[in-house]
Structure 1
Amino acid sequence: MVVFRSTRLVNYHRRRLNQLIDCRKLCSLRSEPSQPLPGRKPKYVSAKEALSVLQSGDLVSMQAVAGAPKALAKGMLEVGIANNLTDVKVFHLMSLTIPDYMKPEYSKIFRVRASFTSGLDREAINSGRADYIPMFLSETGLLFRRNILKPKVTMLQVTPVDEHGFHSMGPSVTSIRDSIKVSEYVIGEVNPRLPRTVGDSTIHESQFDYLVENETELDALNPKPMSDVEKQIGKHIADNLIEDGATLQMGIGGIPDAVLAQCKNHKDLGIHTEMFSDGVIDLIENGNITNRLKNTEKGFLTATFIIGSTRFYDYFHNNPYLIMKTCDYTNDQHVIGSNPKVTAINSCIEIDITGQAASDTVGTKIYSGFGGQVDFLRGAALSFDGKGKPILALPSTTNKGESKIVPYLKHGAGVTSTRAHVHYVVTEYGIASLFGLSNRQRAHQLISIAHPDHRESLEKAAFERLKCMPSKD
């Protein structure tokens, strides 16, 4: 019996060693996910069967935003519970639905590492059950290329395979290609409702070890009615800062939508951005967005992920006008700056009277992440034609009436964009142009676009901080 057990144990370790050798060989072959690997075909299995390779202490890398695979996430949780796993690490960028594996009762099984958070994983991070990695979106791929993160499994959502053996990652690429290249196992969730996109979203079926079929609705974000404040901010930006022929970068939400809604008289606009949403469709159909003056992907929209309504996904399904790229490309400052009149429109939570902006924290609490804000603010400032505009736009007050332009950032707040990064700040009360100004002049500009109810107290606080009155001269 002892000999039998020893033999069985030796055979088990031999098989496991051979599996690891095979995985290492495969990792070395995965130079590019779009490369067909001769003689390889994925196995179609259940989510639980695909995730049975997981062991305690492993790292799982998951596709971001609307590309997050729901059936695989559920299967991962079931395997973790059934096999009594512990300390399984999960890297994801931004969640649009609350992942069950982040619930408090599973905190001993899974621990998330996120480089950008949403309202759905914010609580777990701020309560200590998950971790936040502060970093620029442009550098996310370095986590894998430098072996800082070494995933056992990469899992993502893909379209059904086409006649040439290719799947599409659909609405999200970001850094998942780098993750795939260094993973032991690559698992895909095949969803026929996923919009098929082209570019870096292309992946060959031979790159997968397992595929799981699951038809499900995509996470969608429907545009909300714009407030009067957002409309006014949009008008300030569109009328004064966006020129004909400009290349635009914008995020998601009321202010970007308000800006785009005010651009229906503009000509030859281009889109090179990390992401965009529904607001671009009307401008494409109206002929305002042509992309013909861009120097990168001339004639095409460029993004690393997209998110929007069902109409939005339908519009970009099989639409070659959109080229998906990795985030180290879309967010590369030099690539950004090579386009004409780059106009980068971002937002922040609060900004102090010298121009320091907190965008990822509320005091000591993590709120979101760096994302591409600094990438694009700097890329716009470095525009080769000298006509770039780095913009931060925000309402002058919070929902509680507190000023978002403040003497000092809240205690413990992180500075997302430094005062050197910020050139233009826009509220519903106007535009502050800060580049080249002293702190005294910056305070004067920013106070002039603060809510009138807060200007007097801001002037007093500015005098106490700067030891002189704010002045335009």
Structure 2
Amino acid sequence: MKMNLKKLAHLSDLLGGLRPGEPVTIHSAAANPTRLARQLAESAPMLGGRCVYALMPYGPVPYADAPARDSLKIATALPGPGLRAAMEAGRVVALRRPLSAMPALFPAGERAGMVLLRVAPPDASGRCNLGVAVDYMPAALRAARFVVAEIDPGMPVVPGEGWVDVGRIDACIQSEDGPHQMTPPDADTVDIDIARHVVSLLKDGDVLQTGVGALPEQVLRQAAHLKSLGLHTGILTDGARALMEAGVIDNSRKGYLPGVSVATMALGTAGLYAFMDRNPSVFLASCAVTHAGEVLRQVQSLKAINGALQVDLQGRVNAEWAGARQVSLPGGLPDFARAAAAQEHGLSIIALRSCDRHGRSAIVPALAPQHPCSLDAHEVDCYVTEYGIAHVRGRSEAARRGALIAIAHPGHREMLERACR
């Protein structure tokens, strides 16, 4: 086993070994390897339009900026703020695939391209831990011809599937930056009201899936009175950590991996990462597992709580476009929503503000024809705004329209009623 890792002066020293068309895959979210990302940007002119897979960039994304952007093609499934401008300029390949299908981008048995990682230092058995992001990296690692790691002692060692033998790593650089941090955003009064309605749908023993942002964190904060909750989600956050520390989330009634909170990545504060370090109550797995239908069917009483930008009167959901700007992609939304909606005791919940920041109704007569539908009506059981809850499971189309109008902003209800005539 190769224990003495080869030190790399600069990433450009290895990039010349790539074959034409081979991609570069970079570690996701809080595990984004800052120094390797910078060196990738510096080396962009030698890459000749090569594709960079960046599942969910967080922190600096220098390869998306000038001049590197002119030499690279970036593909993503969860664009964050670092890729928003590039998306608006049409320089990003939008991977409109559910997260469960993302590992299939790297076919088994084929070796192609390079993977750039941020990992914890090797342990005594010669393994490095992927830390706070596993997502599709196991599949990418199986497929890569070259693996380059940013070795960071600040990366927590998290139980689960995020392991790579040092013998698989071709070269490394050193870093002491630690994973990227995100401070939970503050909730406003609208978030608080929406969260109160969402929490009224939850009960003891439910298994929660939530996203990232002020509203999901507020939902978790207001769920502190419940007991024996479980967590099976895409991204582990500080709100979930608080409930785990308080014993509210104990996963005692969860069918899949009881006693353990399951996610595919984490994003939050240094306190969250310290909590996860060698914590046996946390398990990070590939999104081929966390988001798989056959796994989610074992997670009974799943409450999938997700956001949206618009909902139309048919119940179709737009979670991707704000006006003429594409700001997101479906990600794990279809996986969790479909699984929860298919369960007798599950609920697929879409929570959104009644109006956008310009005062326009988020509940609209019909989605714009140029905007793809992120979720169909049959994949949602409840819609929630600050004005209440629209319970639509098993209801007729007319009843669904009426329920949605009832939770729209009062100033827009007459317009919506006219659209139904």
Separation of aligned partners in 1, 2:85 and 2:389:
34
Equivalence for 1:181: 142
Please say which of residues 442-451 and 336-345 is displaced more in the overlay. Answer: 336-345
Equivalent position to 2:384, from 419, 426, 433: 426
- Structure 1 counterpart of 2:99, one-letter code: L
- Structure 1 counterpart of 2:415, one-letter code: S
Equivalence for 2:177: 216
TM-score by length of 2: 0.95
Query: Which residues of 2 match residues 30-429 of structure 1 at below 5 A?
Result: 38=1, 42-48=5-11, 49-54=13-18, 57-81=21-45, 84-145=46-107, 151-239=112-200, 241-363=201-323, 365-383=325-343, 386-429=344-387
Please say which of residues 305-314 and 149-158 is displaced more in the overlay. Answer: 149-158
1:410 shift after superposition: 2.7
CA RMSD after TM alignment = 1.8
Separation of aligned partners in 2, 1:185 and 1:85:
15
Whether the aligned pair in 1 keeps the contact of 2:276 and 2:282 (CA below 8 Å) is: yes
Equivalence for 1:14: none
1:77 shift after superposition: 2.4
Separation of aligned partners in 2, 1:245 and 1:85:
51
Call closer, same or farther: CA 1:151–1:62 in 2, change over 3 Å.
Answer: farther
1:188 shift after superposition: 1.0
Separation of aligned partners in 1, 2:177 and 2:393:
48
Equivalence for 2:395: 437
- Structure 2 counterpart of 1:186, one-letter code: V
1:267 shift after superposition: 0.7
Whether the aligned pair in 2 keeps the contact of 1:363 and 1:410 (CA below 8 Å) is: no
- Structure 1 counterpart of 2:98, one-letter code: F
- Structure 2 counterpart of 1:109, one-letter code: S
Please say which of residues 230-239 and 440-449 is displaced more in the overlay. Answer: 230-239
- Structure 2 counterpart of 1:236, one-letter code: H
Separation of aligned partners in 1, 2:248 and 2:408:
32
- Structure 1 counterpart of 2:55, one-letter code: L
Aligned residues: 420
Please say which of residues 432-441 and 173-182 is displaced more in the overlay. Answer: 432-441
Separation of aligned partners in 1, 2:399 and 2:283:
42
Whether the aligned pair in 1 keeps the contact of 2:209 and 2:336 (CA below 8 Å) is: yes
Separation of aligned partners in 2, 1:346 and 1:151:
35
Separation of aligned partners in 2, 1:102 and 1:440:
46
Separation of aligned partners in 2, 1:446 and 1:438:
12
Separation of aligned partners in 1, 2:304 and 2:370:
27
Whether the aligned pair in 2 keeps the contact of 1:56 and 1:87 (CA below 8 Å) is: no
1:451 shift after superposition: 0.8
Deviations along 1:355-396, whole A, 9 cap, x unmatched? 00010223553211111111001111233xx20011000111
Whether the aligned pair in 1 keeps the contact of 2:309 and 2:322 (CA below 8 Å) is: yes
5+ residue gaps, structure 2: none
Separation of aligned partners in 2, 1:295 and 1:46:
48
* Secondary structure in structure 1 of the residue aligned to 2:199: helix
Deviations along 1:81-134, whole A, 9 cap, x unmatched? 4xx441121011111124221123223321111122122212212212221121
1:218 shift after superposition: 2.5
5+ residue gaps, structure 1: 1-37, 464-473
Separation of aligned partners in 1, 2:71 and 2:3:
32
Q: Percent identity?
A: 29
Separation of aligned partners in 1, 2:357 and 2:91:
29
Separation of aligned partners in 2, 1:67 and 1:160:
14
* Secondary structure in structure 2 of the residue aligned to 1:431: strand
Call closer, same or farther: CA 1:344–1:154 in 2, change over 3 Å.
Answer: same
* Secondary structure in structure 1 of the residue aligned to 2:67: helix
TM-score by length of 1: 0.85
Please say which of residues 221-230 and 106-115 is displaced more in the overlay. Answer: 106-115
Call closer, same or farther: CA 1:346–1:124 in 2, change over 3 Å.
Answer: same
Larger radius of gyration: 1
1:461 shift after superposition: 1.2
Whether the aligned pair in 2 keeps the contact of 1:396 and 1:450 (CA below 8 Å) is: yes
Equivalence for 1:8: none
Whether the aligned pair in 2 keeps the contact of 1:59 and 1:150 (CA below 8 Å) is: no
Call closer, same or farther: CA 1:130–1:281 in 2, change over 3 Å.
Answer: closer
1:216 shift after superposition: 1.1
- Structure 2 counterpart of 1:390, one-letter code: S
Equivalence for 1:446: 404
Whether the aligned pair in 2 keeps the contact of 1:363 and 1:414 (CA below 8 Å) is: no
- Structure 2 counterpart of 1:198, one-letter code: P
- Structure 1 counterpart of 2:7, one-letter code: Y
Call closer, same or farther: CA 1:150–1:123 in 2, change over 3 Å.
Answer: farther
* Secondary structure in structure 1 of the residue aligned to 2:91: coil
1:409 shift after superposition: 1.3
